[in-house]
Amino acid sequence: MESVDMKSPCVKCSKGCGITTCNGCQQAYCIDHFNQHRQELAIEVESLDQKHDLFRNNLDRKFTEHPLLLQINQWQQDAVNTIQMIAETARTLLRKLLDQTKNEIEKSIKNLADELRSSRECDDYTEIDIKKWTGQLRMLRKTIESPPTILITENETLVMPLISVHNQASTFATENFANHTATVENSTHPSERFDQIVGKAITSEECRVITCNTWFVSYPTIYGSGRYSSGAHRLDYQIEKIGNSPIFFGITSSLESVRDNDENATSIHG
Ligand SMILES: [Zn+2]
Ligand SMILES: [Zn+2]
């Protein structure tokens, strides 16, 4: 706060003299209206804080209830449904075949029992009949004990789309957030390229173009490939697209180790 010319009236009431100026808006206020101005700012900050909280909650929800997660869930459900349907169809068919075999055996047993009973009642059986019945019984036992004639084959191909997740980092960056794109252009050193990257950035066109996503909290540091020990050198960069954070161009010693957050480095010039 600084005192102002006594002639400057308060911007709010024009009656009292502005005795103080707000450093932010450069307006003069009387003491009452200055306090009121401060309160208005406090309300604004409070509302910003609430908006921030809201954004934070939305962010959490957006990432935990991501539509792609729902897509994977749906795929899983569809796949499970398909497999359950195939298994149920196979079970139904197998039950039908097993019942059919069981019915045939039961029918044969009943026929044999009927024949035995009637022969005993008539008392007209001979060794030939006994031999025949023994043979029939052996055959039935063999039918039960022998391995089943039903087979399960697994050679049919199940046509089901398989899914996988890919990170299309460059597309993601281009479509959703403001980027910086810089290109090495017409320099006196045509071999100059973007070289080592600390942080998140993508090179393209044989390392002549660099794109970095300014959405990420930490800024990437991108080093050029050339090393220059003396003389004047011209390196031209064309900024094709500028994001909403500053770009810094500078030179540093190649003896300095590559590091993150070079804005704090003492030996960088630019
Ligand atoms: Zn102000
Ligand atoms: Zn006033």
What is the residue-averaged pLDDT of the chain? 79
Q: Is 152 inside any structural domain?
A: no
Q: Is 161 inside any structural domain?
A: no
- Asked if residue 197 lies in contact with residue 167, where contact means CB atoms within 8 angstroms, the answer is no
Q: Name the E strands within 120-168.
A: none
pLDDT digits 0-9 by tens, 68-77? 888 999 999 9
Which of 14, 41, 15, 19 is closest to 30 using CA atoms? 19
- Closest-approaching ligand to the CA atom of 12: 2
Q: Is 163 inside any structural domain?
A: no
pLDDT digits 0-9 by tens, 35-63? 999 999 999 999 999 999 999 988 888 88
Q: Which has the higher per-residue pLDDT, 219 or 249?
A: 249
Number of domains in the chain: 3
Distance in Å, CA 10 to ligand 2 centroid: 5
Q: Is 230 inside any structural domain?
A: yes
Specify whether 223 is located in the same domain as 235. yes
Specify whether 183 is located in the same domain as 257. yes
Distance in Å, CA 1 to ligand 1 centroid: 11
Sign of the four-CA dihedral 102, 104, 106, 109: negative
Specify whether 35 is located in the same domain as 77. no
Helix (H) / strand (E) containing 122: helix 67-122
Distance in Å, CA 32 to ligand 1 centroid: 14
Residues with CB under 5 A from ligand 1 (ion): 22, 24-25
Q: Is 192 inside any structural domain?
A: yes
Q: Which of residues 16, 36, 65 is at a domain's end?
A: 65
Strands 194-198 and 201-204, bridge-based pairing: unpaired
Question: Any residues with CB less than 8 A from the CB of 133 and at least 6 apart, and which?
Answer: 112, 115, 116
Q: Which domain holds residue 97?
A: 67-145
Distance in Å, CA 11 to ligand 2 centroid: 6
Please identify which residue in the block is written with the tokens 């950035």.
201
Amino acid identity, position 183 = T
